[in-house]
Structure 1
Amino acid sequence: MLKNELYYLTILTITILGILLVLLIYLIIRKAMDIKNRKRIEQFIEKYHSILFTMLMEGGYSRGLNPKSVLEQIAIEELLSRFSKILEGEDEKTRLTELASMYLLERYRKKLKSKRWSQRMNTLYHIEDFKLNLLMDDIYLLTKKKKLSHAELIHSLRILALFQHEFLFNLLTTHYQNFSEFEYRTILIRLKQQQFEQFILHFHKGSQPLQKAVLDVISIKKELNYLPFLENIFSVYKGEIRLRALKALSMVGHVKNSEPYLELLYSSKWEERMVAAKLIGSLKEVKGISRLIELLHDQTWWVRSQAGQAICQFPNGHQILREVLETSKDPFAKDMAWEWLHKGV
């Protein structure tokens, strides 16, 4: 019985060792092939570097650049990726897109259909870097796939936004309504005015995270032409959306009539007092100074801090803060006045 057990144990050990040996040999061969391929890629990079650089700087094409193998395409991809990070001129960037379209377009079209997630994601990054808008329809079709990962979907939609795809509005308002506010914002921030206007005109159709993202993008862009829209949202909506509209107005720094916003300085909600203080500071509305001084004594730190910053934006702001520091009996107000006197804006 013992002999049989030793026999089977020996067979099992030999089998495991055999499998490990085969794996080791495979890894050694694979590593050797990778090293060999890397050397070939570096050779192609050295060969094509000056040719590609000349084409990017001066335009035109070269017969010396005729990639036939996958390794040559990888070399061109790496070179163009390096150049994309340092090019500043619009003409050079346009030529880079043209060269990538000429030599890598079909390669990327195939890789978008790859079964490997890493290959599809890397391809999306390259398409974005090279601005290959000729693959816009391929990416649009990719968003329709059921087994697409969330990361791929968000990145695909960001690229469609970069290319100003005509169906992006429909995708975000009809098919993909469960994204986070941050994810929507990273998509919308890439839109030009014409495409972004769709989200303004049909604001009510969007989910709340999408609505918040729209308002945040306006806060970032700070464009005055959105003022009527923001004031309308502020007057019609309630809660967080109303607060975001108020925040966007404070970033734009302009309103038609300051009276409704001066009233918010007395709001029972500390969030509204805080953002209203920010807006009054941006407007430099003299009527609000006395209330801003009172808000330096507010029970909420965020309100006190924003009031101090707002006062600093007035021409005589530092003088006002010094008076508070010298005359106030509230230690919190004195601390905030001291902080903004030394911090400034």
Structure 2
Amino acid sequence: MLTHELLFLSILTLSLVGILALLLGYLTIRKTIEIQKSKKMEYYRGIYNPLISSILIEGSFSRKLNPDTVLQQKVIEQLLSRYTKVIEGEVEKERLSSLASMYLSDYYQKQLKSKKWSIRMNTLYHIEDFNMINLTESVYQLLNKKRLSHQELVHILRILALFQFRELFELLTTKYHELTEYDYRHILIPLETKNFDQYVLHFHNARLPLQKAIIDVIARKREVSYTTFLEKIFSNYSGEIRIRALKALAEIGYVKKSEPYLDLLYSEKWEERMVAAKLIGSLKEKSAIPRLIELMHDRTWWVRSQAAQAIIQFTNGKEILGTILESSKDTFAKDMAWEWLHKGV
């Protein structure tokens, strides 16, 4: 009996040793392959980097830059990714986009069909970074994929927006209703004015998340041309949409007449008092200074802070805050005045 147990243990030990040996061999071979791959990539980087640099700076293409393997394409991808972080000129960016389109288009079309989510997502990021407009149709076709993650969907729509895809408006207004406000904003930001204005015209028929995103993008653009639109939204809507329109006007810093907004400094809603203070500060409406001083004593911290920020934008703003600091009996007002007097010091 003991002999059988020893024999079993010996066989088990030998089996484990054999498995460990195979595993070690596999890891060794894998490590060797990775080292060889890394050396090859470093070799190609040494060849391709000066060629790509010359193309981006001078615009002269070279026949030596002719990748015919996946490894060589990966090297070009890595080098172009580095350049996207450092080049600033429009001409250089166009050359980089042309390079990517010339040498990576076929590779990316295959990658977009990969069953692996990570490969498809990384490819989408590169297509966006390299501004590969020639792959617009390939990116659009991904929307037909049955199992599409939410993150993948939003990124596809954002790329279509970046490439000013004509059918995007119909997609966002008739098909993809499950998107969040954040999703819509992320997608709309790259749109050029003529394409973005479609959504402005559609505003009254849009779902609430899309309406919020439209206003937020306008606030980000800070273009005076949208002032009339925002003032109409402010006048005709209520609740959060009304507040957002007011915030956007404050970001732009311009309204046709300041009188309607001066009354908001007395609003019962603290959000309206706060945003109105921001807008009046941007407009530098001197007649509102006494009320802004009163708002320094408001019961809401956000209102006090915005009132102080508005006051300091006036020529004599620091003097006003200094007076509040010295003479006010309200501890909260004094603290806020001190804070804004010392910001950036």
The corresponding residue for 1:235 is 235
- Tell me the alpha carbon deviations over residues 287-337 of structure 1, each in whole angstroms, 9 at most, x when there is no partner: 222211111111111111111111111222223223333332222222222
| CA distance, structure 1, for counterparts of residue 109 and residue 235 of structure 2 | 48
State how 1:1-345 maps to structure 2 within 5 Å.
18-343=18-343
- Tell me the alpha carbon deviations over residues 180-237 of structure 1, each in whole angstroms, 9 at most, x when there is no partner: 3333222211111011111111112333222222211111111000001101111111
TM-score, length of structure 1 as denominator length: 0.92
Counterpart of 1:203 in structure 2: which amino acid? F
Counterpart of 2:125 in structure 1: which amino acid? Y
Q: 1:16 Cα shift?
A: 5.4
Structure 1 gap ranges (5+): none
Q: Is 1:312–1:344's contact at 8 Å kept on the other side of the alignment? A: no
- Tell me the alpha carbon deviations over residues 264-306 of structure 1, each in whole angstroms, 9 at most, x when there is no partner: 1111111111011111111111222221111111111111111
TM-score, length of structure 2 as denominator length: 0.92
| CA distance, structure 1, for counterparts of residue 267 and residue 33 of structure 2 | 70
| CA distance, structure 1, for counterparts of residue 184 and residue 12 of structure 2 | 56
- Tell me the alpha carbon deviations over residues 99-128 of structure 1, each in whole angstroms, 9 at most, x when there is no partner: 111111100000000111221122112111
| CA distance, structure 2, for counterparts of residue 190 and residue 159 of structure 1 | 9
Counterpart of 1:314 in structure 2: which amino acid? F
Secondary structure in structure 2 of the residue aligned to 1:66: coil
- Of 109-118 and 207-216, the range deviating more from structure 2: 207-216
Q: Tell me the C-alpha RMSD between the 2 structures.
A: 2.3
Q: 1:28 Cα shift?
A: 2.2
Q: Is 1:173–1:205's contact at 8 Å kept on the other side of the alignment? A: no
- Of 195-204 and 88-97, the range deviating more from structure 2: 88-97
Q: 1:13 Cα shift?
A: 6.0
Closer, same or farther: CA 309–12 of 1 in aligned 2, 3 Å: same
Closer, same or farther: CA 16–180 of 1 in aligned 2, 3 Å: farther
- Of 199-208 and 176-185, the range deviating more from structure 2: 176-185
| CA distance, structure 1, for counterparts of residue 6 and residue 273 of structure 2 | 82
Q: 1:11 Cα shift?
A: 5.9
Q: 1:344 Cα shift?
A: 7.6
Counterpart of 1:286 in structure 2: which amino acid? K
Q: 1:74 Cα shift?
A: 1.7
Secondary structure in structure 2 of the residue aligned to 1:100: helix
- Tell me the alpha carbon deviations over residues 13-55 of structure 1, each in whole angstroms, 9 at most, x when there is no partner: 6555544543433232222112111111111111222222222
Secondary structure in structure 2 of the residue aligned to 1:143: helix
| CA distance, structure 2, for counterparts of residue 14 and residue 149 of structure 1 | 47
Task: Among all aligned residue pairs of Structure 1 and Structure 2, give the percentage whose two residues are the same amino acid.
Answer: 61
Counterpart of 1:268 in structure 2: which amino acid? E
Closer, same or farther: CA 180–62 of 1 in aligned 2, 3 Å: same
| CA distance, structure 2, for counterparts of residue 149 and residue 24 of structure 1 | 38
Tell me the matched-pair count: 345
| CA distance, structure 1, for counterparts of residue 225 and residue 98 of structure 2 | 35
- Of 186-195 and 145-154, the range deviating more from structure 2: 145-154
Structure 2 gap ranges (5+): none
Closer, same or farther: CA 197–27 of 1 in aligned 2, 3 Å: same
Counterpart of 1:306 in structure 2: which amino acid? Q
Closer, same or farther: CA 166–13 of 1 in aligned 2, 3 Å: farther
